[in-house]
Every structure is written in structure tokens, then in C-alpha cells.
Amino acid sequence: MTTRESKPVLERLFGTSKPIIGMVHVLPLPGSPYYRNGSLAQVYEQAVEEALILEEGGVDGILLENAGDIPFLKPDDIGFETIGGMSVIGDRVRRATKLPLGFNIVANAAKASLACAKSSGAQFVRVNQWANAYVANEGIVEGAASQAMRYRRALDGEDIVVLADVHVKHGSHAIVGDRDIEDQARDVEFFGAEVLIATGTRTGHATAPSEVKQIRAGSVGPILVGSGFSSENAAELLSVADGAIVGSYVKGNGKMHGDKVVLGKVKALMDTVRALRG
């Protein structure tokens, strides 16, 4: 039997080379500024609907994010209602689809993501600031690795894979301005992340191939593109990266908010990816 250690992590998780993970941007949840009373059923229904569209379109995994809860809170300020709602969504998506499932509870709520993953049977989490610290829209956000790794162990959740950003978007990196991306990648991997993520500067903004190369120079594990992946840049990015996470590009309006995932856009993107995989 193939063990976790002997099989590459992305192949083990997604069953393919160069996997594409489709993002479900969950609508505002109770407690957040843009939630509307009585709309929770719609929140659940749209999340499942978009997950099914992504699956039909051919993606290799699904990532759930509480993207509608803007402006985002720091991890310790996120309410139990958010974790509860996302866990319900995770359970419903897992039952409705056959794809590997992950969570990214923002901002940087690694323990919350792990709790959601454990409770709903998901296989991975994404954590935006795993090591070091940066100045985000929410304030100073510190690396989550030390507490998250212990919490994962306490949950008996060591089968949950950590995907972690290097040089995360939506913030200033002045705190680590004396350390290049290569060094930051070493830290993220040294602190236990199994997959590293390269992003652009904002959601939907294209990741620079040069950033992927810098991360590669400081790490040995697989690297995913975490922002701005599209049919137009897929060939260039997949020539240096090991896969990608895609969300905004496959929406009707090409933006994080305001529209749903479009099946035709997902299929077109995955046709491009399959051709590149050979």
C-alpha cells in the first residue's frame, strides 16, 4: 500500500499532476456586516451549487473561504457562528461532491480552518500567514504555525494537509523587508507546511512567475499559484508551478464578489490545463 510519505502530496490529495483547486467564495455569514437576516439557507445553497459547477467543469479539488465576511477579523475575534456555518457548508459540499475539500477561514484563522476540516471530513487547509508576520488590512498578522501545528495534533488531524502562502497578498511586508522571498519560503516549509503558495498582490491579480521561482529556490516541496490564474497565463505559470487555485477568473464578472461561477469558463480553463498536462 502506498503510504503518505512515499507518494507526492499533491498527487496523493488530488490524484493528478498540476492540480487545479476551485475556490468557492462563500456569501456573507451570520455576524458579518453584509449578512441579511433569513438568508442563511441561500448561503448554504449557493456554496453547494458553485461546488457542483466547479466539479462538473473538471477541477481537481474545492477550497471553501468565508470571502463574504468583509472586512475580515483577526483570528481570535472570529465568532463561533462563522466556524459553525462554514462547517455546515463543508459537510454539505462533501456529501454533494466527490472532490477533495479544503478550508481557508480568513483572516489567517488556521485553527478555525482545521476545526472546520476535522468536523466536515475535509482533507486540507490554506493558511495565508504561516510563518513570520506582515501588516495586513486587519493590522499586524503573525504566523500561525506554532499554534496550528499543535492544534492539528490535538485534534488527531495530522492527515489534514497544510497549504501555506509565502509573501501573502493584501498587505505590507515591511516587517520582513530585510528577508527575501527565498528566505521566507524556507521558513514556511521549515515550520511544517507541506505545500507552498505564490500569490499576486491582491485577489485576482496574476502571480508573477518570478515569485514562483524565488519560492522554488528556497524550498523543496510543491508550489501552487494562489492568485490570478487564467487560461491566458496557464502555460507560463504551470511551467514553473505545480498547480493552481482559481476563483475570481471563473466568475461571470471575473471578480471575487457579485457573480457566480460559470460552467463554461471552468470547462475552458480545464481544457487548457489538460492540454498542458499532456
What CATH number has the domain bearing residue 257? 3.20.20.70
For all residues of the chain together, what is the average pLDDT?
93
| Confidence grade of residue 19 (pLDDT, cut at 50, 70, 90) | very high
- The average pLDDT across 225-244 equals 97
Q: Is residue 7 part of a domain?
A: no
For the record, the C-alpha cell of 246 comes out as 482559481
Residue 38: predicted pLDDT: 87
Q: Is residue 154 part of a domain?
A: yes
- The average pLDDT across 177-194 equals 94
Residue 1: predicted pLDDT: 29
Q: Is residue 72 part of a domain?
A: yes
% of the chain residues with pLDDT over 90 = 86
Q: Is residue 10 part of a domain?
A: no
Residue 134: predicted pLDDT: 87
CB 61 within 8 A of CB 99: yes
- The average pLDDT across 249-267 equals 95
Half-sphere exposure of 104 (CA within 13 A, CB side): 27
Q: Which amino acid is at 238?
A: L
Q: Is residue 13 part of a domain?
A: no
Nearest to 124 by CA among 181, 164, 165: 164
Residue 142: predicted pLDDT: 93
Residue 159: predicted pLDDT: 97
Q: How many domains does one find in the chain?
A: 1
Distance between terminal CA atoms of the chain?
27
Residue 201: predicted pLDDT: 65
Q: Which residues of 218-244 are buried (b: 16+ CB within 10 A; e: fewer)?
A: bbebbbbbbbbbbbebbeebbebbbbb
Q: What is the distance between the alpha carbons of residues 97 and 15, in angstroms, rounded to a whole number? A: 15
Q: Is residue 5 part of a domain?
A: no
Cis peptide before 107 (omega within 30 of 0): yes
| Confidence grade of residue 203 (pLDDT, cut at 50, 70, 90) | low
- The average pLDDT across 251-275 equals 96
| Confidence grade of residue 221 (pLDDT, cut at 50, 70, 90) | very high
For the record, the C-alpha cell of 260 comes out as 457566480
List, for residues 80-92, the tens digit of each pLDDT value.
999 999 999 999 9
Nearest to 160 by CA among 208, 201, 110, 232: 110
Structural domain including 230 reads: 18-273
- Going by their DSSP bridges, the two strands 161-166 and 195-198 should be labelled as parallel
